[in-house]
């Protein structure tokens, strides 16, 4: 619903943008602008760069570039009410193309009209500072260099600019990058929502495991969880709990199935192989015995290292999830997997849990996820996704029976080999 009675203005862009807002929304924006202008002490109805960046929680070059775009690159340090309406009209209420073109311009932090690798590196550094170091002094991309490199590796720079040796990121390159990194796209598309209002794209699931487990041995880091959660609904970004870790439970298919069988919600399977590649899949359905493919289009594959990417179902087929146990037919290989076809999966772990494979597949539009098609797992993890609804039901019903609590506690102790220490 727009605002049919737009405020009179000599600026056609303002008149057009204001029609995207209701009367109440425009009044709220007017109040916000007046409040921030008063704090700016700019001697007029203008918001200063420092007040703008503080209110929207934007640091460094990314905040400078956003202020530059919102003020239509006048370089006078004065953000008017019309500027705010025009920017929000395009950035938040424009067409998909309008919004993506705005974000693409935002990436050009150097302001030279070219989105180069250094621009992307700067933006990613600022992004990680905002998400993972909200209360610490500005540190820049160097503090997150490992993560920055992983996300940079997902980008392809194919645009040739005259007078420049290195190729840059085209608008189409940017769109492809956003498809692979939905968490980045979500965050960069919500920068004009202040952090205290719950900025989309900044939620990181709380990762839960028993204290006896050395966190350095856990594959799933916060930045990886944030990346995987980029296409998940809000209720699945509350808490993830470690159900199985091969370093503590052993590389055992039966132990894996036993560990995850009590968890009926979605799970996140992560593999680190002997080539040091890290990848996996999000399974929306429980790991249960089937004689063929099952699952739904909520599942997806992902890469975490040395490149971060997410591959969603393309709709080409419904060969989503695989879990075959104790079958004797060669046409039903025992193990777990995602996508592709029998013996040519997008990702597959054999029941021996010491080998598997990954091929490019049309199910998810994914490439081989590792260095080679044949994989040899070094570490396997599985995390249970605790949905907000399930968590509320848990609290509403107490902590369950004594037997249920014993089973859960014993399972966690089994993971670290302590269940029988007192027997």
- 162 and 27 in a common domain: yes
Q: Is residue 155 part of a domain?
A: yes
- 168 and 20 in a common domain: yes
Residues 340 and 121: their CA atoms lie apart, in Å, by: 34
- 134 and 25 in a common domain: yes
Residues 152 and 150: their CA atoms lie apart, in Å, by: 6
> What is the pTM assigned to this prediction?
0.87
* Dihedral sign computed on CA atoms, order 147, 358, 325, 264: positive
- 192 and 221 in a common domain: no
- 360 and 270 in a common domain: yes
Tell me the residue range of the domain where 366 lies.
216-388
Q: What are phi and psi of 337, to 5 degrees?
A: -170, 180
Q: Distances from the Cα of 152 to the Cαs of 157, 184, 231, in angstroms? A: 10, 11, 19
CATH of the domain at 86: 1.10.238.10
Residues 180 and 236: their CA atoms lie apart, in Å, by: 20
pLDDT at residue 215 in the model:
84
Domain count along the chain: 2
- 136 and 108 in a common domain: yes
- 237 and 162 in a common domain: no
- 289 and 184 in a common domain: no
Residue 102: CB atoms within 10 A of its CB come to 19
- Helix or strand (DSSP H, E) at 63: helix 60-70
Residues of the chain with confidence (pLDDT) below 50: 1, 3-7, 134-140, 397-423
- 348 and 299 in a common domain: yes
pLDDT at residue 405 in the model:
40
* DSSP code, position 202: -
Q: Is residue 89 part of a domain?
A: yes
Residues 204 and 183: their CA atoms lie apart, in Å, by: 10
Q: Is residue 312 part of a domain?
A: yes
pLDDT at residue 9 in the model:
57
Q: Is residue 417 part of a domain?
A: no
Q: Is residue 394 part of a domain?
A: no
- 239 and 357 in a common domain: yes
Residue pair 65/106 in contact (Cβ under 8 Å)? The answer is yes
pLDDT digits (tens, 9 = 90+) for 324-342: 999 999 899 999 999 999 9
pLDDT digits (tens, 9 = 90+) for 195-239: 887 888 999 999 999 877 888 899 999 999 999 999 999 999 999
- 190 and 271 in a common domain: no
Strand, helix or coil for residue 244: strand
Paired residues of 377 in beta bridges:
273
Within 211-319, strands assigned E span 239-245, 267-273, 278-283, 300-305, 309-311
């Amino acid at each position: 619903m727009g605002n049919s009675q737009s405020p009179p203005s000599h600026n056609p862009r303002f008149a057009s943008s204001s029609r995207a807002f209701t009367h109440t929304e425009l009044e709220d924006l007017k109040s916000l602008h007046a409040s921030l202008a008063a704090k700016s002490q700019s001697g007029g109805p203008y918001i200063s760069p420092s007040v703008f960046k503080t209110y929207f929680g934007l640091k460094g070059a990314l905040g400078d570039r956003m202020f530059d775009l919102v003020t239509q690159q006048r370089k006078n340090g004065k953000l008017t009410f019309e500027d705010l309406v025009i920017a929000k009209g395009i950035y938040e209420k424009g067409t998909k193309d309008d919004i993506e073109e705005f974000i693409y311009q935002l990436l050009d932090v150097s302001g030279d009209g070219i989105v180069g690798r250094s621009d992307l590196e700067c933006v990613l550094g600022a992004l990680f500072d905002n998400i993972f170091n909200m209360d610490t002094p500005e540190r820049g991309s160097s503090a997150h260099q490992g993560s920055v490199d992983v996300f940079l590796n997902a980008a392809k720079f194919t645009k040739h600019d005259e007078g420049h040796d290195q190729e840059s990121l085209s608008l189409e390159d940017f769109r492809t990058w956003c498809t692979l990194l939905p968490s980045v796209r979500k965050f960069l598309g919500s920068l004009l929502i202040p952090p205290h209002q719950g900025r989309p794209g900044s939620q990181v699931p709380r990762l839960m495991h028993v204290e006896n487990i050395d966190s350095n041995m856990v594959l799933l880091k916060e930045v990886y969880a944030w990346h995987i959660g980029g296409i998940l609904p809000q209720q699945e970004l509350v808490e993830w709990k470690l159900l199985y870790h091969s370093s503590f439970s052993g590389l055992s298919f039966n132990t894996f199935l036993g560990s995850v069988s009590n968890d009926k919600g979605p799970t996140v399977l992560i593999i680190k192989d002997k080539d040091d590649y890290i990848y996996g899949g999000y399974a929306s359905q429980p790991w249960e015995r089937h004689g063929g493919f099952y699952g739904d289009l909520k599942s997806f594959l992902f890469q975490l290292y040395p490149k971060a990417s997410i591959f969603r179902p393309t709709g080409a087929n419904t060969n989503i999830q695989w879990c075959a146990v104790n079958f004797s037919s060669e046409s039903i290989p025992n193990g777990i997997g995602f996508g592709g076809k029998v013996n040519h999966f997008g990702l597959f772990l054999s029941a021996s849990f010491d080998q598997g494979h990954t091929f490019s597949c049309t199910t998810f539009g994914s490439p081989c996820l590792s260095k080679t098609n044949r994989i040899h797992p070094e570490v396997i993890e599985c995390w249970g996704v605790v949905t907000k609804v399930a968590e509320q039901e848990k609290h509403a019903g107490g902590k369950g029976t004594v037997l249920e609590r014993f089973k859960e506690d014993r399972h966690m102790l089994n993971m670290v080999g302590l269940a029988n220490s007192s027997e």
